[in-house]
């Protein structure tokens, strides 16, 4: 049983990236892997091309490696794919004027909600009660003096 | 002011709910994405052609897209929806006299040839995109996919998936006729 468990630990995860796609240069390959984790597989939508087994994902992984091998920077390689597939290929949308709402909207809503909650909380806290008038104090003293029967 | 302020969250909620409901019931398919290349020049390509056709000596290149309104259809013999779409392409080419060019995507030339011999050949010429690179340059998701290219060689419309008869009549033909007149 223990041996079986140990064997499970040894099992390597199944990568979508095939050995024949890999670049000989480990530094370039590492950049390609990092980049392909950020690129969407356009046929499967919510998977990166690094995870996807789709043939189009494989083709794009190969194109990406070719671009890097040809001397493209990470940004240039990404731009190459964005020109063809649009911003949709980027799993992380770019921060631009037209995406501010997407990136900062939730924080703005949180701040707004916090402000409303704070204001409501402050309004609800009652003001400290006014001190007792002399008549009230005399009556309180009288009540306390009365012995229970 | 105070008296109506308590209604603000409700109004906000109803506004958002209305907006979401409108988006949900609009019938818009969120998976349908516009091409990144709309109104941009069609990518350059130079492919061997399936048969020695009417275009320059056994090749199909992007140069042949200029000057006339052209429909470019990516297909493959291994693609089932392409079979469904095929009669529509035939009608487009034969009855509507539209210039239709085929690009066989990741398909063996002999298989593409058999596919066209069996179902009829609507294409003026068919390019062979064996490794799918021209497909990637077009931003292709899969086959079938159809692009409308205007006289200046710009992509004006992209249809992902098969062109249906209804789509042809309602959207494609009016667009093609308008582009031809311009």
Q: What is the DSSP pairing of strand B126-129 with strand B99-105?
A: parallel
Q: In order of start, what are the domains of chain B with their CATH numbers?
A: 35-181 (3.40.30.10)
Residue A26 in domain: yes
Residue A64 in domain: yes
Verify that A67 and A100 share a domain, yes or no. no
Question: Tell me, what's the pLDDT at B151?
Answer: 93
pLDDT tens per residue, range B20-75: 999 888 877 766 666 788 888 999 999 998 874 455 567 888 888 888 999 999 99
Residue A143 in domain: no
CA distance readout (Å), B165 to B33, B90, B92, B96, B169: 21, 11, 10, 12, 6
Minimum-distance CB partner of A84 among B33, B34, B139: B139
* Whether B15 contacts chain A with CB within 8 A: no
- The secondary element (H helix, E strand) that includes residue B129 is strand B126-129
ipTM of the complex: 0.78
CATH number of the domain encompassing residue A60: 1.10.8.640
Verify that A87 and A109 share a domain, yes or no. no
pLDDT tens per residue, range B106-157: 999 989 999 999 999 999 989 999 999 999 999 998 889 999 999 999 999 9
Residue with tokens 């229970």: A148
Verify that A55 and A102 share a domain, yes or no. no
Best mutation target among A59, A61, A80 (most B Cβ atoms within 10 Å) is: A59
Is the pTM higher than 0.90? The answer reads no
* Whether B114 contacts chain A with CB within 8 A: no
Verify that A113 and A61 share a domain, yes or no. no
Question: Could you tell me the residue range of the domain that residue A77 belongs to?
Answer: 12-92
pLDDT tens per residue, range A67-113: 999 999 999 999 999 999 988 899 998 898 888 999 999 999 999 99
Verify that A56 and A75 share a domain, yes or no. yes
How many distinct structural domains can be found in chain A? 2
* Whether B130 contacts chain A with CB within 8 A: no
Verify that A102 and A113 share a domain, yes or no. yes
Given pLDDT bands bounded at 50, 70 and 90, which one contains residue A131? confident
């Amino acid at each position: 049983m223990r041996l079986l468990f140990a064997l499970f630990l040894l099992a390597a995860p199944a990568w979508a990236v095939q050995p024949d796609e890999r670049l000989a240069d480990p530094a370039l390959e590492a950049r390609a892997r990092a980049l392909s984790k950020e690129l969407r597989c356009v046929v499967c939508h919510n998977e990166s091309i690094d995870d996807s087994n789709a043939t189009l994902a494989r083709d794009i992984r190969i194109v990406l490696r070719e671009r890097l091998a040809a001397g493209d920077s990470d940004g240039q390689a990404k731009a190459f794919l964005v020109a063809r597939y649009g911003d949709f290929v980027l799993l992380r949308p770019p921060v631009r004027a037209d995406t501010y709402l997407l990136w900062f909207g939730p924080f703005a809503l949180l701040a707004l909600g916090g402000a409303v909650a704070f204001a409501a909380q402050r309004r609800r806290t009652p003001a400290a009660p006014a001190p007792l008038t002399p008549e009230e104090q005399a009556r309180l003293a009288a009540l306390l003096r009365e012995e229970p029967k | 002011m105070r008296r109506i302020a308590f209604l603000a969250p409700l109004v906000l909620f109803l506004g958002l709910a209305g907006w979401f409901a409108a988006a949900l019931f609009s019938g818009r398919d969120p998976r349908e994405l516009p091409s990144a290349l709309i109104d941009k020049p069609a990518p350059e390509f130079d492919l061997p052609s399936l048969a020695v056709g009417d275009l320059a000596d056994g090749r199909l290149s992007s140069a042949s897209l200029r000057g006339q309104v052209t429909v470019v259809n990516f297909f493959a013999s291994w693609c089932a929806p392409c079979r469904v779409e095929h009669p529509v392409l035939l009608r487009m080419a034969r009855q509507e006299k539209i210039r239709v060019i085929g690009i066989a995507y990741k398909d063996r030339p002999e298989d593409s040839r058999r596919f066209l011999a069996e179902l009829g050949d609507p294409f003026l010429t068919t390019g062979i995109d064996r490794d799918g690179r021209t497909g990637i340059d077009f931003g292709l998701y899969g086959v079938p996919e159809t692009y409308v290219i205007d006289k200046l060689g710009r992509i004006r419309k992209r249809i992902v998936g098969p062109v249906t008869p209804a789509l042809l009549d309602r959207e494609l033909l009016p667009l093609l006729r308008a582009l031809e007149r311009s």
